[in-house]
Amino acid sequence: MIEKFPVKSIRTTKSPSTEGVTTYTMLVDFNDLPNDISLEVNPRKPKMNTAVAKKLIHAVTGTEEDFDIKNRGIVIIANNLIFNNGQVTLDLGDDRTRFGILDGGHTYTAITQNRGDMPEDMHKYVKLEILVGENLDATGLADARNTSVQVSDIALFELDDKFNDVKDVLKKESYADDVAYKDNDNKSIPVADLLRLMYAMNIEKFASETTAPVSAYSSKAAVFRDYKKEIDKGDDNVYAKLIPLLPELVRIFEFIQRDMKKYYAEFKKANGQSSSAFGKVRGVEGAGNYHTAFSKMDIEYQISNGFIFPIFGAFRALLKENNDGTIEFEFSPEKVWNKVGVNLVQNTFETDTNPQMAGKNKTLWQGNYRIVEGAKKDLLIEKLMNQNGL
């Protein structure tokens, strides 16, 4: 989608930390702001009936003209931007989940829905901050820009003791004291990271290869909302059944972190390619002194979650629900990893070498699931043959 509109002023800043990323800061007249910029990048949809939203609407329709000074403005991720003769041509691409309004959705909605009620002949301006660059991580930016709201939600949830079961099951783990359950906890593991692991294993919501828990990677806010909705149902919910598995889920996540380089080298070697370039892959840092996400085990490479989660989520194919309602792994996840780890890593890196795209690629998640499901079927056949003495 292409949007063209005039701007009052514009400033360009190239990022010194991320090559190829440029930030364009500009002031735009309310009446020139386009109507159809996507809000799907933002993990929170605007709720315009709150007290804060009503104040925003009043600021839009009122007589004060200093909106651009008092309001933080709107942050947008775009595919490209061209400025010429006082007019911006904004390329928002075709992917509404990647390009659009990252932050400031309430401001945008308040302006576009209520600017017609401004006093006649009055001009008000809003600040736009538009980020352009192929190395932008929309998911990471969305979480970072919306952290205050998200963490406060989790902290309020903690007041209701809704994380007590999580605390109990982790109390003997080495990282138990490193989990932050409140927004003022200065600890290294946000509880949201544990919720993401369970979301990726939600066999009720994602029962087969036809669906994929992509939000485990792409939206912490969506994960938290789903967890809260289920926990509020009482004891009979899928997360109550998955919480006892959390230590095992952590181990799965970390053996993927630990072994990915080894399996990357194996598949490259099998294809007659160099196996020594893992550290040069986009989204991989190393070789160096790094640690796994939870237990802080020493590892040689730091690997983007965009590569890890599509592999991690595939192991839900091994889960089964028993007659008593408990959930367990039918076969050892590590045994399956040792069996098909090369296939999973190869499928992941041959599908996409951009970790942000890989993490959100439903086809990749589905392909990895099928690989684990195939290994499960082989183990079931082997088990039946052993039982029958064959």
Q: Is residue 154 in a domain?
A: no
121, 145, 169 - which closes a domain: 145
Look at residue 313 in the predicted model and tell me its pLDDT. Answer: 97
Integer Cα distance of 297 and 255 in angstroms: 10
**DSSP string for residues in 215-277:** HHHH-HHHHHHHHHHHHTT-SSSHHHHHGGGHHHHHHHHHHHHHHHHHHHHHHHHHTTS-SS-
Asked if residue 270 and residue 245 are part of one domain, the reply reads yes
Asked if residue 42 and residue 108 are part of one domain, the reply reads yes
The overall average pLDDT reported for the chain is 88
Asked if residue 325 and residue 274 are part of one domain, the reply reads yes
For residue 187, is pLDDT > 90? no
Residue range 56-63: mean pLDDT, rounded: 89
Asked if residue 167 and residue 94 are part of one domain, the reply reads no
Asked if residue 164 and residue 141 are part of one domain, the reply reads no
Asked if residue 197 and residue 341 are part of one domain, the reply reads yes
Residue range 121-138: mean pLDDT, rounded: 85
102, 122, 145 - which closes a domain: 145
Q: Is residue 348 in a domain?
A: yes
104-113, 117-126, 224-233, 377-386 — which one is most confidently predicted on average? 104-113
Q: Is residue 255 in a domain?
A: yes
Q: Total structural domains in the chain?
A: 2
Asked if residue 382 and residue 350 are part of one domain, the reply reads yes
Asked if residue 19 and residue 98 are part of one domain, the reply reads yes
Asked if residue 181 and residue 106 are part of one domain, the reply reads no
Asked if residue 222 and residue 329 are part of one domain, the reply reads yes
Q: Is residue 287 in a domain?
A: yes
Structure tokens at 283: 């989204």
Q: Is residue 183 in a domain?
A: yes
Look at residue 146 in the predicted model and tell me its pLDDT. Answer: 56
**DSSP string for residues in 114-150:** HGGGSPTT---EEEEEEEE-TT--HHHHHHHHTHHHH
What phi, psi does 387 have (nearest 5°)? Answer: -65, -30
Residue range 23-28: mean pLDDT, rounded: 96
For residue 147, is pLDDT > 50? no
Range in 3-12, 25-34, 41-50, 72-81 the model is least confident about: 41-50
pLDDT band, residue 139 (cuts 50/70/90): low
Which tens digits make up the pLDDT trace of 294-344? 999 999 999 999 999 999 999 999 999 999 999 999 999 999 999 999 999
Pairing of strands 319-321, 302-303: unpaired
Structure tokens at 125: 């301006």
Asked if residue 222 and residue 83 are part of one domain, the reply reads no
Q: Is residue 155 in a domain?
A: no
Residue range 166-194: mean pLDDT, rounded: 88
Integer Cα distance of 51 and 97 in angstroms: 28
pLDDT band, residue 150 (cuts 50/70/90): very low
pLDDT band, residue 145 (cuts 50/70/90): low
Pairing of strands 9-14, 22-29: antiparallel
Q: Is residue 72 in a domain?
A: yes
Asked if residue 278 and residue 205 are part of one domain, the reply reads yes
Residue range 169-173: mean pLDDT, rounded: 96
Does the pTM surpass 0.85? The reply is: no
Range in 120-124, 173-177, 360-364 the model is least confident about: 120-124
In percent, the amount of the chain with pLDDT more than 90 equals: 58
More confident residue, 26 or 120: 26
Its domain, for residue 39, covers 2-145
72-76, 152-156, 222-226, 316-320 — which one is most confidently predicted on average? 316-320
145, 171, 205 - which closes a domain: 145
